[in-house]
Structure 1
Amino acid sequence: MNLADTDGYLFTSRLSLASHPWLADHAVMGSVLLPGTAFVELALHAGAQADSPHVEELTLEAPLVIPAEGSVQVQVTVGEPDGDGRRPVAVHSRIPGDLADALHSADGWTRHATGAVCPEPEAAGEPGSLVQWPPAGATEVGVDGLYERLHGIGFGYGPAFQGLRAVWRSADVLYAEVALPGGLQENGEAFALHPALLDAVLHVLGLRSGEELGAAQLPFSWNGVSLHATGATVLRACLAPRGSDSYTLTIADSSGAPVATIDALMTRPITAEQIARARSVPNSPLFQVEWRTVTASAGSSGETVPGAAGQGRWAVVGDDPLGMSAGLKSTGASLDVYPDIEAFAAAMEAGSAVPEYVFAPFASDPARAVDDIPAAALSGTRRALALLQFWLGDERYAASRLVLLTHHAIATHPDENITDLPHTPLWGLTRSAQSEHPHRITLIDTDNHPTSWHTLPTTLTTHPQHALRNGTPHTPTSPTTPPPTPPPTPINPNGTILITGGTGTLATHIARHLTTHHGARHLLLASRSGPNAPGATQLHTQLTALGATVTITACDTTDPNALRHLLNTIPDQHPLTTVIHTAGALHDATLTHQTPDHLTHTLTPKINTATHLHHLTRHLPLDHFILFSSASGILGATGQANYAAANTYLDALAHHRHTQGLPATSIAWGLWAETSTMTNHLNDTDIHRMTRAGMPPLTTNDGLALLDTALTTNTPLLIALNLDLAKIRTQATSTPISPLLHSLVRAPLRRAANTEADGSEEGGTLRRRLGELSGAERGRGLLRFVTTEIATALGHSTSTSIDAGRPLGELGVDSLIAVDLRNRLGAATGLRLPASLTFDHPTPGALSEFLLTELFPEADRTAAAKHVVREIDRLEAALTTAEFDEEAVSGIAERLQNLLAAWNRTHSAADGASVAEKIQSATADEIFDFIQKEFGKS
């Protein structure tokens, strides 16, 4: 299309293996790439439409990988001409869809080629011809077996790209005859110069030194490309060298008539790392966290916090080595200070009003050096866990907010140093607590600057996670794709690669992959069981057969002395060049059921090993230091607060090393689909829950592809997980989602005010729908809603199997699903539901009855009154139809007198008091007479 208000052009298209199946035959090192010749075809076509048919130059900057499924969106832009008539041309691509739309801004497209097109030069002269064929004086070169040999260096050319028919050589000049395979003959005329045909011409370059193949090379730049004829299906070509890896091409048809000339084609070697860098994994790219400045009106988190910050009483609880309480007082708040949680609890028990905000500082004392960082991290995380469990276990605090304060325990950009490593696990721990108990906790990292304290009150009413820097609040927003980084450092085949957790499922895949795809030749695999681990012998045999020297050893990497000894065994001739830390352990439980032992079990293998590796290798010239982290720490996975805590430490350590100029990348993985020793406890319900939340597991191939990409970056933290935005958007309508995902989905706009004063808009909508029903229908409607929510939480397609009277545990509701169910019901009803909801109301029917009472308390009171009247009717019937002796009549009358007196005292009804006086002085006969007159027959 011709662009408005400019003399530029924009061409758009989509490429896929479905629409262009012949592209599948252009595979390079395991990936289907758009041929470099196709970029020339695009530039020729676009230039011709702009009356600029000559490609003056075209430089290929990045390979364009065609995904195995789906399509890739392509744009070709042709700019306005300059004074000499030259127009800039560029080719961009991206994977289309929700994820691409959410992640990519204008600079998010990948640029693959740039150059210039122009009208045909006037001094071009007559193009060369190749009428004499075979060329005089040239010697034929055999091409049998060429494509098999090309396959051996990474070029997996299929039939569509095996068009080379004959080759001749005359000195340094090469001649080639190529033809389109029969299946492509018919559409050859649709192209100016079919990419598969021109690509086949370049295959002769593999024979430029005798008959030995050179290094794997691809076109890098094209200069002076002129087209003289279109629609050819057979070509003759002459390739004359112009220097190292540069050639002039003269191309003719089968009669020798000119088809195209190329003044200069330059090629460059291609490596597996470069292909990995360009590889596009649909819907599962690598992300990085971006912290953005929060504006005063920013409230996109969906959080609702009590009151307006700065009003009401605040409190500070616990040690405060940095004097954060002074900063809080500077805001003008009325502040109570308690030395520990026990003192705070005692004050609340004594009748003190619950503060609106309770702040808990977690910071290392700058006057005391931390000698044992792992021990300090475990101690601080245990203290935070105890505080969170205290806070969440008492419903008296449900209307207030607990605010955890850290000091430089996170980084708001890659180059910001993290100075308080021991308290970095609190961010993962607390994020999980926020996911399990929405709207109860806020997490703030402060620089302790005076202006930041002045800003703090406004941050309390916006997002649940903040960093304050020089008075400016920042919050983590939607993940973005990492920016380009310097050229990657390849795996050194002469160096040793250490993999911790080396006999685990992921580690074994990685060891094989590094051997087959990156040329790794020296592997040191360390785990607790070492060679005695299941499958270790087979792994050793496989890796050895692939050409690697492998050592599988038992080592407790959490012990610094054992790890030091292990590193000392690495031979000098194969020094340590790469560290990959995959070791870890799970011990899942909801936050209120976590124990200190849960923390020790999970934090130790992650934190201790990573810290010791950092200290023991920081003097070495490592190429790579890779930490296998988990997205649970960034997203706040429910039921994994301890695991989230361990992994945010790894993320922070990578930042810390990065700012010291040391190599480090922490990869926060989503779940891998392949079952491992760490994930074999997950069942179909667990997998369904993750998929329903918009984060389906990664396949092994996708995971390894993402690792390849991670090895090409110097970004300290990368997130590797699948994101299904449609499911995330659906999830966001029923339950709170991680703040990191807010900007990826367009949540429904909030009304100016809630429908109900004490409930969310969603809760008001449900209340309205139910309120339109009669009493009996209302109860049945709410029960249907509750059973549907239970079925959804359990992964059932319908609610027909949910028996209203069956215990939730028997239905499959465990503690983690109970948290999810409570949050879903809370979001849907707008009610603040207790943590013990499913324990107190253990069947779908009981849950429904409780919610009905909470949603319609007035109806509940009316129902109670009707129930009492029915009981009185029954009493009346019994009193008027039965026969009693004098003693029974006297006893019944006394009971009725006492009952009415108690009623009168409770309700202080004036009329009731006068009735009571009459009854108290009445005889038994008069009382029965009174009942007959007042209540009548039922």
Structure 2
Amino acid sequence: AHPVLTVGIEETVDATGTDAAVFGTLRRDEGGMRRVLSALGEAWVAGVDVDWTTVLTGRRVSLPTYAFQRQRYWLDAPALPVQGAGGDPVESRFWDAVEREDLDELAGTLQLSEAPGVLGSVVPALASWRRERRQRSMVDTWRYRVTWSPLAGLLASAGLSGTWVVAGRVDDGVVAALSGAGAAVVGLPVDAWSQRDVLAERITALGDVSGVVLVTGTASVVSEELAGVVVLLRALGDAGSDAPLWVATRGAVAVGASDRAGDPVQAAVWGLGRVAALEYPQRWGGLVDLPETIDARAGDRLAAVLAAGHGEDQIAVRGSGLFGRRLVRATPAAVTDAGWHPSGTVLITGGTGALGSEVAHWLAGRGVPHLVLTSRTGVAPDGLVEELATLGARVTVAACDVADRDALARVVADVPVDVPLTGIVHAAGLDAPQLLDDVTPQELSSVLRAKVDGTVHLDELTEGLPLRLFVVFSSGAAVWGSGGQAAYAAGNAFLDAWVERRRERGLAGTSVAWGAWDGAGMAVRGGA
């Protein structure tokens, strides 16, 4: 048929809610075998099982891989532009002279009779602008964001077999989805740390278990919600079971514009899950975020997710299909005059620590008149206040645990009226590396307090204030996991989701998931 009909067929597919892909084998001036093979290739990419042996002849070989390893683990990054490469060499020499502030060479290039005068006042500003632009271009190549990619191919096989355990919250939709796909489903309540021995005994009594699905949503407190994941992982180990554990959440992630920003408590579960995937590679199935209502179609998609062999472990089930989580390069941010401008008071939690001190210098150097630095001790490192004063900032150092709402409320209330609070940088955090096999409820809660409670208190106590800056320091551990950092990853994933909720409310909010800082911060402790 003429290719114009493919549009109508696609509309029909969408209108009936059918999972299908539409391809054409005829286009204007293109109707030969090459076009047919292209259509088959498009179908194969979309998940259609194409029998290539009937189409292609000759010997099939695998694509080349990295020598010896047979796999590639790194992202393909474009090389940083080299100054002058492929451009005008005269222009490159000009900007090189600007950066060196070589007035004599610039005077010759511009055919000026003498170097001083106008050049002497303009060139330093141009050099500063050029260096800042170069630095910004370099930093932009370090920036990534999370996105979601359609997973049409997962729907090819959705059959389940054997015994599947549905743990945690009783969810009729999940049970029906697994039963409908052929699994024998057994319920297993999980609601306390102390249940580990009981859970292990029940799992052992079940014999050979094909898989386990833990349905979260039984608690509104982060530490309690995470406890179910930890205790079930341990119980599976005690029972000697390598059955894959899938953790099912609702509203933990936002796949597209139609989704609300992720629920911070459920997002914390995903943060912990990414670490569990590293610490329990033989026991971990993955994370799956479900729609609020699991109808027949969503149930089929859930069964397809749980079927082994597809290699995806962070998936969202939505009415429009299945989506897999991806990390991609972020588009460089446009710099406009509508952004933040230094004014008033900026409060820095953890402000006397290594990263807080760096931020304080950065803010003072950009003209913030008043800085409030908080820490649990209220003691600043020698010389910090004096250094910030030389940059023009007035400094107040306050003893305050950000997890103590009353203490934080007093700090906010004490901000002088003449320099009102206009910004917050939440850099406080507690890191207590601990494997999930060893972590205690107390350790889990203590790591979460600074991140979770501190963020919530800062948000609530500044409600109604005209904040133009609300920055929280998150971590790469929350984005891709980090062994021994489950509590820290969960707390920072909570931060990321909370800031998304702030943005949804029309408020200022930025969460930066840092990697290791050179020479400062938690990563360099103990000589690392």
Aligned with 2:138 (options 274, 277, 280)? 280
Change (3 A) 1:655 1:592: same
Change (3 A) 1:484 1:474: same
Q: Tell me, yes or no, if the aligned pair for 2:469 and 2:508 is still in contact at 8 Å.
A: yes
Aligned with 2:331 (options 471, 474, 482)? 482
Q: Tell me how far 1:641 sits from its aligned partner.
A: 1.1
The residue aligned with 2:239 is 394
Matches within 5 A, 1:838-877: none
The residue aligned with 1:445 is 289
Amino acid in the other structure paired with 1:313? T
Amino acid in the other structure paired with 2:206? S
Structure 2 CA distance, aligned partners of 1:388 and 1:101?
31
Q: Deviations over 1:205-228 (max 9, x none)?
A: 679xxxxx6899769xxxxxxxxx
Q: Tell me how far 1:469 sits from its aligned partner.
A: 1.6
* 1:320 match: secondary structure: coil
* 1:661 match: secondary structure: coil
Q: Deviations over 1:281-332 (max 9, x none)?
A: 49x6111112211231699xxxxxxx97422222211223785434544545
Matches within 5 A, 1:607-618: 607-618=452-463
The residue aligned with 1:468 is 317
Aligned with 2:76 (options 102, 106, 111)? 102
Aligned with 1:673 (options 509, 513, 518)? 518
Aligned with 1:659 (options 504, 509, 512)? 504
Q: Tell me, yes or no, if the aligned pair for 2:215 and 2:247 is still in contact at 8 Å.
A: yes
**Consecutive unaligned residues in structure 1, runs of 5 or more:** 1-97, 113-154, 165-177, 181-196, 208-212, 220-269, 300-306, 371-375, 688-938
The residue aligned with 2:300 is 454
The residue aligned with 1:320 is 170
Structure 2 CA distance, aligned partners of 1:588 and 1:555?
24
Structure 2 CA distance, aligned partners of 1:604 and 1:407?
23
Amino acid in the other structure paired with 1:285? W
Q: Tell me how far 1:413 sits from its aligned partner.
A: 4.7
Q: How many residues align?
A: 433
Structure 2 CA distance, aligned partners of 1:445 and 1:482?
26
Backbone CA RMSD of aligned residues? 3.7
Structure 2 CA distance, aligned partners of 1:646 and 1:199?
60
Structure 1 CA distance, aligned partners of 2:114 and 2:230?
67
Aligned with 1:360 (options 195, 202, 214)? 214
Q: Tell me, yes or no, if the aligned pair for 2:218 and 2:225 is still in contact at 8 Å.
A: no
Amino acid in the other structure paired with 1:456? L
Q: Deviations over 1:152-198 (max 9, x none)?
A: xxx9752545446xxxxxxxxxxxxx314xxxxxxxxxxxxxxxx48
Structure 2 CA distance, aligned partners of 1:203 and 1:452?
73
* 1:479 match: secondary structure: strand
The residue aligned with 1:528 is 376
Q: Tell me, yes or no, if the aligned pair for 2:155 and 2:304 is still in contact at 8 Å.
A: no
Q: Tell me, yes or no, if the aligned pair for 1:491 and 1:519 is still in contact at 8 Å.
A: no
Q: Tell me how far 1:348 sits from its aligned partner.
A: 3.5
Matches within 5 A, 1:326-405: 326-340=176-190, 345-349=200-204, 351-363=205-217, 376-395=221-240, 397-398=241-242, 400-405=243-248
Amino acid in the other structure paired with 1:158? R
Q: Tell me, yes or no, if the aligned pair for 2:168 and 2:228 is still in contact at 8 Å.
A: no
Q: Deviations over 1:494-518 (max 9, x none)?
A: 22111100100111111112222x2
* 1:497 match: secondary structure: strand
The residue aligned with 1:621 is 466
Identity over the aligned pairs, expressed in percent? Answer: 28
The residue aligned with 1:633 is 478
Structure 2 CA distance, aligned partners of 1:443 and 1:503?
37
Q: Tell me how far 1:439 sits from its aligned partner.
A: 3.8
Change (3 A) 1:291 1:485: farther
Higher CA-based Rg: 1
RCO higher in 1 or 2 (8 Å CA, sep ≥ 6)? 2
Amino acid in the other structure paired with 1:407? R
Amino acid in the other structure paired with 1:645? A
Amino acid in the other structure paired with 2:511? S
Structure 2 CA distance, aligned partners of 1:584 and 1:473?
35
Structure 1 CA distance, aligned partners of 2:377 and 2:524?
18
Q: Tell me, yes or no, if the aligned pair for 2:316 and 2:323 is still in contact at 8 Å.
A: yes
* 2:152 match: secondary structure: coil
Q: Tell me, yes or no, if the aligned pair for 1:493 and 1:519 is still in contact at 8 Å.
A: yes
The residue aligned with 2:100 is 158
Structure 2 CA distance, aligned partners of 1:633 and 1:417?
20
Change (3 A) 1:101 1:388: closer
Q: Tell me, yes or no, if the aligned pair for 2:254 and 2:262 is still in contact at 8 Å.
A: no
Q: Tell me, yes or no, if the aligned pair for 1:626 and 1:666 is still in contact at 8 Å.
A: yes
Aligned with 1:292 (options 122, 139, 149)? 149
- In the alignment, does 2:296 pair up with 1:425? no
Q: Tell me how far 1:201 sits from its aligned partner.
A: 10
Q: Tell me how far 1:571 sits from its aligned partner.
A: 2.2
Q: Tell me, yes or no, if the aligned pair for 1:618 and 1:662 is still in contact at 8 Å.
A: no
Q: Deviations over 1:681-731 (max 9, x none)?
A: 444xxx4xxxxxxxxxxxxxxxxxxxxxxxxxxxxxxxxxxxxxxxxxxxx
Structure 2 CA distance, aligned partners of 1:466 and 1:489?
36
The residue aligned with 1:763 is none
Structure 1 CA distance, aligned partners of 2:313 and 2:395?
48
Change (3 A) 1:568 1:335: same
Q: Deviations over 1:760-788 (max 9, x none)?
A: xxxxxxxxxxxxxxxxxxxxxxxxxxxxx
Structure 2 CA distance, aligned partners of 1:547 and 1:198?
40
Q: Tell me how far 1:612 sits from its aligned partner.
A: 0.9
* 1:592 match: secondary structure: coil
What TM-score does the superposition give when structure 1 sets the normalisation length?
A: 0.42
Amino acid in the other structure paired with 1:520? V
Change (3 A) 1:277 1:467: farther
Q: Tell me how far 1:99 sits from its aligned partner.
A: 11
Q: Tell me how far 1:435 sits from its aligned partner.
A: 0.6
Structure 2 CA distance, aligned partners of 1:390 and 1:433?
14
**Consecutive unaligned residues in structure 2, runs of 5 or more:** 1-71, 85-96
Structure 2 CA distance, aligned partners of 1:203 and 1:661?
50
Q: Tell me how far 1:493 sits from its aligned partner.
A: 3.0
Change (3 A) 1:363 1:327: farther
Q: Tell me, yes or no, if the aligned pair for 1:358 and 1:402 is still in contact at 8 Å.
A: yes
Q: Tell me how far 1:353 sits from its aligned partner.
A: 2.8
